[in-house]
Structure 1
Amino acid sequence: MTEGRLAQNLLYFGRALRTAGMAVGPGVMLDAAEAMRIAGLGSREDLYWTLHAVFVSRREDHAVFDQAFDLFWRRRSAGDKLMALLSPVAVPVAPQPAKPGARRVEEAFFAGGKTSQPEAPPEVEVDARLTASDADVLRTRDFAQMSAAELEQARRRIAALKMPDDQVATRRLAPDPRGRRVDMRAALRASLATGGAFMPLRTRAPTRRPPPVVALLDISGSMSDYARPVLHFLHALGARRRVHTFLFGTRLTNVSRALRHRDVDAALAGVAELVPDWSGGTRIAPSLRAFNKDWSRRVLAQNPVVLLVTDGLERDPDDTLAREMDRLHRSCRRLVWLNPLLRYA
């Protein structure tokens, strides 16, 4: 890559990063050009860290930048090209899972290109809706990565979302001129400015913040089609309030820590590694009993809103489900049951 085309290639690289979802503006591009001028054209590693220091301002942008840099700033030598032409066809290996942000980077660079790969044969799937099974099927799930357009659309919709009871009072106090509790410490500190001759009134009031959300998501065979959009919603909602997420099919799994990753693709990849019973059977009552016994005191202490996303198809004929649902309802601020099968009614 010659120095004459360096500015043009840097501009194209910055546009690709912006298309992939990174915050890259004209000021950042000018800083990148100035940084490359000062650092000089050294090794590839020096170029990587020089551009990384300029473009990456958020933790979730590291994976996208790494994928884009490896794809754009690579150069094959003549020896590598000759070896590729003379080498025999390699034995195909199993495809590796895509790294977080790979789809956004691919669309940013090859949005206008056409792929010549043959179309895969249609996969026959069995629709398990309106059916229930208690079979313990161990199966992992590989979520499709979000494109840049889908990620931006999800952010806009979550930003415009207004949930009921959005602000509730807490026990923590904060300075408030309209508060009803006198803050003597603040009043004494303010009186030092006048030498104690005058003491202004300082008051405090309880702070208000959104209530936490506890989500219980059914991932059995009848609910597998709805798992990905609901997880995207919960991941975006976690940026605005505290969210605890539990998945259950034949067992209960806490995936709250995995969903706290800022990059949505990395978060869903972590969720897929934790949950072994995707698209398996349905055991709603035992899962709710495990939640009420092991997790209710930990995550329901702040009186949250509980979202129960399930179709309600249960195989157990006893009254365990009704009893556990009643206990859960009495332990939270509000219990919201989201049943996607109601659209068939």
Structure 2
Amino acid sequence: MAPADSAPVLLRGIDRAAFAVALVARLRRAGLRCGITETDDLVRALRVSPPVGRHALYWTARITLVRSQADLAVFDEVFAAVFDDTAPLPLSRSALPPGRRDDGVHVKVPAGGDGTTAGGGLPWATLPPAVAAAEDDEDSGLRVPELRPSALAALAGRPFEELDETEIRALGAGLQAALLRWPQRRTRRHATDPAGRRVALRPTIARARRTGWEAITVVRQKPIREPRRVVLLCDVSESMRAQTTAYLTMMRAFALVTDAEVFAFATTLTRLTPVLRHASPEEAVDQASAAVTDRFGGTRIASNLKAVLDSHHGNALRGGVVIIASDGWDGDPPERMAAVMARLRRRAYRIIWLNPRAGTPGWTPGVAAMAAALPYCDRLMPAATFADISACVEAISSRA
């Protein structure tokens, strides 16, 4: 049996650092964004795992040098030009035969590669293979997501009106992951825990009966912590038409993850909590749109807030986080808005107002209803993109 050292290595005898620098220089001239850190990563990777073929060298260079999906096309083009067309790369002088010390050499690479089998593991930046709709199988196993983190981050900064339904659903799924870190609150109930700081008298006395009333074993307990309640009210009037679908997706994420109470309002109030917990996101949004019969009409913010306070759902406001998503245009007088917000302030733990116009440069809360409600809000935050909503979630989590 041949020793392991005799296995063929593609770049045997070649200076790895010179090869990496030359390849990175070619990529940079083509427009790919890579520098010293990526070059060092490639050199280390070639030392740890020497490539045995063109396919292995391709993935080693791609994983270490490509940081963005946008750079993938440039990398593939340059790699093909270098290794398919045998373009010269300056390597180590010691690797050159006598008489060719001053000439460039070609890296001899086999034309064929290892190939990639269907279903094999691929790096994060790889697009999923195109499969016809007729070939889709529900039992085929895990699916590769169509959008990678870099693509989702780019979409999160775009306004709602520029997103299609597929992109909104993908961003809504990302918002659900962010809500898994929802803050908790300390309740008045306690549970037995050896790390607790409070002595549980009854269990301690019960155990002392077995030891002649000597408290040999001290039972401790600590408060039970539960996710903080959240009530979400979203404006679906005519002035909020561009944000309606995105806000419904946002409400669904809150309803699924944080066990929230969610409402939509225009001229009347509509509870959407059971509807938006549907397993299918498309069906949930469609049913919610059908349930809100007065959408894209006028707005009565103060009346709808009072309706929540007067209903049996008003108990969910006690000690909870109230999130109001609206641009502040209201048909009710500002005096009524101030009275309702003062009442809400006494009951809620925190009030966050999301305004899609707040992120506009030079914007000021000049609308009467918005100006009347602002003194009772803990924070006024923009909500024109999913990045704004994620920032709101992070702000609540860091302070609760």
Taking structure 1 as the reference length, what is the TM-score of the superposition? 0.52
**Aligned counterpart, 1:13:** 137
Q: CA RMSD in A?
A: 3.8
Tell me the distance in 2 between the aligned counterparts of 1:192 and 1:270: 60
The correspondence for 2:223, drawn from 200, 203, 206, is 206
For the 8 Å contact 2:255–2:262, the answer to whether it is kept is no
2:169 is equivalent to residue 156 of structure 1: no
Farther-moved stretch of structure 1 (330-339 vs 290-299): 290-299
Change (3 A) 1:342 1:156: closer
258-267 or 187-196, larger mean C-alpha shift = 187-196
Matched residues in 2 for 1:266 and 1:195: separation? 65
SS in 2 for 1:308: strand
Structure 1 residues not aligned, in runs of 5+: 1-8, 22-103, 105-143
Task: Report how many aligned residue pairs link the two structures.
Answer: 213
- In the alignment, the residues of structure 1 paired with residue 138 and residue 210 of structure 2 have an alpha-carbon distance, to the nearest angstrom, of 52
Q: Which residue of the other structure, out of 240, 247, 261, is the alignment partner of 1:223? A: 240
What residue number does 1:26 align with?
none
Unaligned runs of 5+ in 2: 1-132, 147-162, 364-400
Shift of 1:340: 0.6
The aligned amino acid for 1:321 is: M
Q: 1:191 to 1:154 in 2, by over 3 A?
A: farther
Structure 2 distance, partners of 1:341, 1:330, is 27
Provide closer, same or farther for how the CA distance between residues 16 and 270 of structure 1 changes in structure 2, counting only shifts above 3 A.
farther
Q: 1:194 to 1:152 in 2, by over 3 A?
A: farther
Q: Output one character per residue of 1:62-118: Cα deviation in whole Å (capped at 9) or x when no partner.
A: xxxxxxxxxxxxxxxxxxxxxxxxxxxxxxxxxxxxxxxxxx9xxxxxxxxxxxxxx
Contact 2:298 2:331 in 1 (8 A): no
**Residue correspondence of structure 1 range 99-138 to structure 2 within 5 A:** none
Distance 1:343-1:179 versus aligned 2 partners, 3 A rule: same
Distance 2:239 2:309 in 1: 24
Higher RCO (CA-CA < 8 Å; seq separation 6+):
1
> What is the alpha-carbon distance in structure 2 between the residues aligned to residue 191 and residue 265 of structure 1?
60
CA shift in 2, pair 1:310/1:12, >3 Å: closer
Could you say which structure has the larger radius of gyration?
2
Contact 1:169-1:206 at 8 Å conserved across structures:
yes
Letter of the structure 1 residue corresponding to residue 328 of structure 2: G
Aligned partner (choices 265, 270, 275) of residue 253 of structure 1:
270
CA displacement, residues 117-146 of structure 1 (integer Å, 9 cap, x when unaligned):
xxxxxxxxxxxxxxxxxxxxxxxxxxx995
2:323 corresponds to which of 300, 307, 310: 307
In structure 1, C-alpha distance between the alignment counterparts of 2:264 and 2:144, rounded to whole Å? 30
Residue 337 of structure 2 is aligned to residue 282 of structure 1: no
SS of residue paired to 2:310? helix
Residue identity (%) = 31
| AA in 2 matched with 1:235 | R
1:173 corresponds, among 147, 165, 190, to 190
Counterpart code for 1:315: G
Give the whole-Å Cα distance in 1 for the aligned partners of 2:212 and 2:141: 57
Q: CA 1:204–1:306 in structure 2 vs 1: closer, same or farther (change >3 Å)?
A: same
Aligned to 1:95: none
Return the TM-score normalized by structure 2: 0.45
- Name 2:355's counterpart in structure 1: 339
When residues 220 and 20 of structure 1 are mapped into structure 2, their CA distance, relative to the original with a 3 A threshold, is: farther
Q: Please give the alpha-carbon distance, in whole angstroms, between the structure 2 residues aligned to 1:247 and 1:330.
A: 22
**Deviation by residue 1:32-64 (Cα, 9 ceiling, x = unmatched):** xxxxxxxxxxxxxxxxxxxxxxxxxxxxxxxxx
8 Å CA contact retained: 2:325, 2:355: yes
Letter in 1 for 2:302: A
